[in-house]
Each structure stands twice: as C-alpha cells, then as structure tokens.
Amino acid sequence: MELTMAGALNAALRDAMRQDDSVVVYGEDVGRLGGVFRITDGLQAEMGTDRCFDTPVAEAGIAGTALGMALYGLRPVVEMQFDGFSYPALNQVISHVAKYRNRTRGRVGLPMVIRIPYGGGIGAVEHHSESPEAYYSHTAGLTVVSPGTPGDAYALLRASIAFDDPVIFLEPKRRYWLKEDLDLPVTAPPIGEAIVRRAGTAATLIAYGPMVNTAMEAATRAADESGWDLEVVDVRTLSPVDMDTLVTSATKTGRALVVHEAARFAGYGAEIAAELSERAFGYLAAPVLRVTGFDVPYPSAKIERHFLPDADRILDAVARLLEY
C-alpha cells in the first residue's frame, strides 16, 4: 500500500490506540480537525473524545499534563502544533519530563511522546520552520527520534509510544507528503539504532529527518554525475545516538560529512563531528565536514531555499572532502 509519511504516522497512532487502551492523543486542533497536518485525522471519530481530544492553546499545559497522565499509567502522545510553538513547553520538558526518572531514583519512568512537526521547506511564515533538535538532544533524559522515510515514521512512532522513557518525536514536515510502498505494520530496527540507507565506499553522508531524502538524492547524483560511491547513514535516533554505526561507516570510508537543516554553530553536527574525530581519527583521510543551515534566524519563505542545504551544497562539500 502506498502511504505518505503523514499517512504512515496516522496509521501508527491508530494502530497503537487500537492495541493499547492507555494510549491517549491530545493537543491543539488534533481532535475534530485531525491536526493542522491531519496526522491525527479520524482518531477522535474512532476512539472517542476521552482518547483523542483538543486542548486549550497552552503548550506548557499540554506537556505538563502529559507528565501527570504518564505518572498515572497512561501513555500520552501529545502534539506541539509547530516547532516554533514548542518553546513555551521547554520548561516542562527540560525541568521535568527529562528529569523525572532520575529525580525519583528510577522509580518513575514517563512513557510519553511529544510529537513536533519541524524544519523548513514548505514556504511557511516566521516561527513555522524551526529546527530545535539540538536543544532536545542536549538534554539528558530525553530520547530524540526523527524519521526520514514513511516506513520509519510508522515504525519509530510505534516504538516511541511503546517506549518506557519520554520521546521527543521530530517529524520532518516537508517530508509529510513523501510516499513509500508499505506493508503495515512496518518493522524496523529499534530506537537507538542508526541505519545505513545506501552502502558506499568513497565517503559517508550522515543525515536525519528532512535531510535523509536530500542526502540520498545527493548520493544518487554523485554516482551518476561523478562516479563517487557515497554511503548514507540515517541517524534515526538523535539521542542517545548510535555512535557505533556512525564510527563504523566513517572508519570504512575514511571521510564523513554531517548534513542538517539547523544552524551550524553548536548544532547537532558539531557533536557528531567531534565524536567521529575522537573515535575514528586514525582512519580519517579528511576532517569531518558539516553541511548545514546558516547561523541566522530562519529566513522568510521566498529566500528559504538559499538557507536550506540541498544536493548541490552537499556535492560541493563532498568534492572538498574528496580533495584531501
């Protein structure tokens, strides 16, 4: 069955709710409307208003009440309507959601998922194209997941809902309409494992979420246009990251490039580059490079394409990488 990523996420929520009564879904406009991106479409009609409901416009309230629900044994899956509007909930997420297990000495784990559509590329107005993954990945106690394909969107969301720790689930909104032929339920490696999406020998492209597709496109073009055989690793779980898979790939190819939409400085790629240079130093023929957004507030729609990394920017960097 051909499914979009949005459809796969919707199917994952529906299947999880059918299987487990303790799964509840709520947020702004997720009930009657089915979410502004329709990810929760039809859930309220099927499951009722106790299981899928709309809330007041209150992001801290959504995250904070989800904690209380998880404390009481439910598995809340809540939606932040947009990346830029997840910030009012940061106090709850950083001070409590992330720390509760540790604070209680392991006695209270919080099975809850906070879904956030993130990233740019859809021509949105200000505050609708943010890439907040570094904030969450920097916070101990959070598990940060971001799928790059429809199949992974299904599998990783199901796994996140079944997970016994809080998951920040970052949905690459520009890929919501990406299609894939899928047999549900999709199975995939668990949370915490990266995947080699394309095997190659010349260099490793490391990507996640919205950039997986871009990296794959770059690898295809590199093969066609230049005869470069690139490996693409999809990180999938940003934190705790599967460093072994990344190190193995970089060690094999001897060259690595991290790609993300988010700004460069103190971004997610900086951590990966630093870790690779520590663990694979002796195998690397070149410094680990980064292809990222710029260190500017996310630009307005008409110029966003100049901010976003694309296959061209990746291939330019690969050329530099291969020159060493």
| Least Å from the CB of residue 323 to other proteins | 33
Question: Which entry of 128, 138, 260, 306 is annotated as an active-site residue?
Answer: 128
Question: What element of type H or E holds 178?
Answer: none
Comparing CB distances to other proteins, the nearer of 68 and 123 is: 68
User: Applying CB under 8 A, which residues contact other proteins?
Assistant: 24, 50-51, 55-56, 58, 60-61, 63-74, 76, 88, 91-92, 95-96, 99-109, 140-141, 143, 164-165, 192, 240-241, 243-244
| Least Å from the CB of residue 244 to other proteins | 7
Question: What element of type H or E holds 2?
Answer: strand 2-4
Comparing CB distances to other proteins, the nearer of 82 and 163 is: 163
**DSSP string of 214-237?**
HHHHHHHHIIIII---EEEEE--E
| Least Å from the CB of residue 255 to other proteins | 24
306 exposed, middle or buried (CB, 10 Å; 0-12, 13-18, 19+)? exposed
Clarify whether 96 is annotated catalytic.
Answer: no
Comparing CB distances to other proteins, the nearer of 161 and 289 is: 161
| Least Å from the CB of residue 139 to other proteins | 11
Separation between Cα atoms, residue 164 and residue 246, nearest integer Å: 25
Comparing CB distances to other proteins, the nearer of 158 and 173 is: 158
Cα 49 versus chain centre, distance: 28
Task: Name the H helices within the chain.
Answer: 5-19, 43-47, 59-71, 90-92, 100-103, 133-137, 150-162, 210-221, 243-253, 268-279, 304-307, 311-323
Looking at this protein, which amino acid is placed at residue 54?
A: D
| Least Å from the CB of residue 109 to other proteins | 6
Comparing CB distances to other proteins, the nearer of 20 and 295 is: 20
Beta-sheet pairing, 230-234 with 52-54: unpaired
Q: Tell me the two tokens of residue 109.
A: 């784990």
Residue 198 · residue 213 · CB < 8 Å: no
Active site residues: 128
